[in-house]
Amino acid sequence: AQSVTQLDSQVPVFEEAPVELRCNYSSSVSVYLFWYVQYPNQGLQLLLKYLSGSTLVKGINGFEAEFNKSQTSFHLRKPSVHISDTAEYFCAGNSGNTPLVFGKGTRLSVIA
Protein backbone atom coordinates (compact mmCIF):
# COMPACT_ATOMS: atom_id res chain seq x y z
CA ALA A 1 0.00 0.00 0.00
CA GLN A 2 1.16 3.48 -0.76
CA SER A 3 2.02 5.92 2.02
CA VAL A 4 3.14 9.53 2.12
CA THR A 5 5.14 11.02 4.98
CA GLN A 6 5.66 14.71 5.60
CA LEU A 7 8.59 14.95 7.94
CA ASP A 8 7.89 18.36 9.44
CA SER A 9 4.57 19.35 10.98
CA GLN A 10 5.56 23.02 11.27
CA VAL A 11 8.15 25.12 9.46
CA PRO A 12 8.75 28.74 10.51
CA VAL A 13 10.77 30.86 8.10
CA PHE A 14 11.57 34.54 7.72
CA GLU A 15 10.18 36.49 4.81
CA GLU A 16 12.37 36.40 1.68
CA ALA A 17 14.28 33.35 2.98
CA PRO A 18 14.28 30.03 1.08
CA VAL A 19 12.18 27.11 2.27
CA GLU A 20 12.03 23.35 1.72
CA LEU A 21 9.08 21.22 2.79
CA ARG A 22 9.94 17.54 2.86
CA CYS A 23 7.88 14.67 1.56
CA ASN A 24 8.75 10.97 1.28
CA TYR A 25 6.66 8.27 -0.29
CA SER A 26 6.61 4.50 -0.33
CA SER A 27 5.15 2.50 -3.13
CA SER A 28 5.85 -0.69 -4.99
CA VAL A 29 4.01 0.44 -8.11
CA SER A 30 4.04 3.46 -10.36
CA VAL A 31 3.70 6.63 -8.38
CA TYR A 32 2.31 10.02 -9.19
CA LEU A 33 2.89 12.85 -6.75
CA PHE A 34 1.18 16.15 -5.99
CA TRP A 35 1.54 19.14 -3.71
CA TYR A 36 -1.54 21.06 -2.59
CA VAL A 37 -1.87 24.24 -0.50
CA GLN A 38 -4.72 24.94 1.89
CA TYR A 39 -5.49 28.39 3.28
CA PRO A 40 -7.63 28.63 6.45
CA ASN A 41 -11.20 27.38 6.00
CA GLN A 42 -10.69 26.71 2.32
CA GLY A 43 -10.31 23.70 0.06
CA LEU A 44 -7.08 22.45 -1.48
CA GLN A 45 -5.41 24.25 -4.37
CA LEU A 46 -3.06 22.34 -6.64
CA LEU A 47 0.50 23.73 -6.55
CA LEU A 48 2.25 21.24 -8.83
CA LYS A 49 2.34 17.61 -9.88
CA TYR A 50 4.75 14.95 -11.08
CA LEU A 51 3.23 12.57 -13.61
CA SER A 52 6.16 11.70 -15.88
CA GLY A 53 9.09 13.25 -17.72
CA SER A 54 11.39 15.81 -16.12
CA THR A 55 11.98 15.18 -12.44
CA LEU A 56 12.08 18.92 -11.70
CA VAL A 57 8.55 20.23 -11.67
CA LYS A 58 7.60 23.90 -11.58
CA GLY A 59 4.31 25.04 -10.14
CA ILE A 60 2.36 28.15 -9.31
CA ASN A 61 3.45 30.96 -6.97
CA GLY A 62 7.16 30.28 -7.58
CA PHE A 63 7.19 26.78 -6.05
CA GLU A 64 9.06 23.82 -7.51
CA ALA A 65 9.63 20.21 -6.50
CA GLU A 66 12.04 17.47 -7.48
CA PHE A 67 11.06 13.84 -7.85
CA ASN A 68 13.90 11.64 -6.55
CA LYS A 69 13.23 7.96 -7.13
CA SER A 70 16.35 6.67 -5.34
CA GLN A 71 15.50 8.61 -2.20
CA THR A 72 11.73 8.19 -2.63
CA SER A 73 11.29 11.90 -2.06
CA PHE A 74 9.35 14.79 -3.56
CA HIS A 75 10.45 17.86 -1.61
CA LEU A 76 8.84 21.25 -2.25
CA ARG A 77 11.03 24.34 -2.49
CA LYS A 78 10.73 28.08 -2.93
CA PRO A 79 13.78 30.37 -3.14
CA SER A 80 12.14 33.37 -1.44
CA VAL A 81 8.91 33.18 0.56
CA HIS A 82 6.31 35.88 1.14
CA ILE A 83 3.90 36.48 3.99
CA SER A 84 1.12 35.32 1.69
CA ASP A 85 2.71 31.83 1.51
CA THR A 86 1.64 31.18 5.10
CA ALA A 87 -0.64 28.14 4.81
CA GLU A 88 -0.87 24.36 5.23
CA TYR A 89 0.88 22.30 2.55
CA PHE A 90 -0.04 18.72 1.72
CA CYS A 91 1.92 16.16 -0.24
CA ALA A 92 -0.16 13.42 -1.86
CA GLY A 93 0.32 10.48 -4.17
CA ASN A 94 -1.47 7.73 -6.01
CA SER A 95 -0.77 4.87 -8.38
CA GLY A 96 -2.73 6.36 -11.27
CA ASN A 97 -6.41 7.23 -11.55
CA THR A 98 -6.99 6.20 -7.94
CA PRO A 99 -7.82 8.03 -4.70
CA LEU A 100 -5.05 10.21 -3.32
CA VAL A 101 -3.13 9.27 -0.19
CA PHE A 102 -2.17 12.41 1.73
CA GLY A 103 0.53 13.23 4.22
CA LYS A 104 -0.44 14.89 7.49
CA GLY A 105 0.52 18.32 6.24
CA THR A 106 3.17 20.93 7.01
CA ARG A 107 2.20 24.30 8.38
CA LEU A 108 4.41 26.97 6.83
CA SER A 109 4.58 30.19 8.86
CA VAL A 110 6.32 33.13 7.24
CA ILE A 111 7.63 35.65 9.73
CA ALA A 112 7.97 39.33 8.80
Partner 1 sequence: DTGVSQDPRHKITKRGQNVTFRCDPISEHNRLYWYRQTLGQGPEFLTYFQNEAQLEKSRLLSDRFSAERPKGSFSTLEIQRTEQGDSAMYLCASSQLQREVSDTQYFGPGTRLTVL
Task: Summarize as ranges the residues that interact with partner 1 (CB under 8 A).
Answer: 32, 34, 36, 41-46, 49, 51-52, 90, 92, 94-105
Closest approach of partner 1 to the CB of residue 88, in Å: 9
Residues 2, 43: Cα–Cα separation, whole Å: 23
Are 91 and 4 a contacting pair, CB within 8 Å?
A: yes
Complex with partner 1: residue 5 or 15, whichever CB lies closer: 5
Pick 35 or 110: Cβ nearer partner 1: 35
Pick from 86, 110, 90: which is nearest to 102 by CA? 90
Given the complex with partner 1, which of 72 and 95 has the nearer CB atom? 95
Least distance (Å) between residue 55 CB and partner 1: 15
Least Å distance, CB 63 to partner 1, is 16
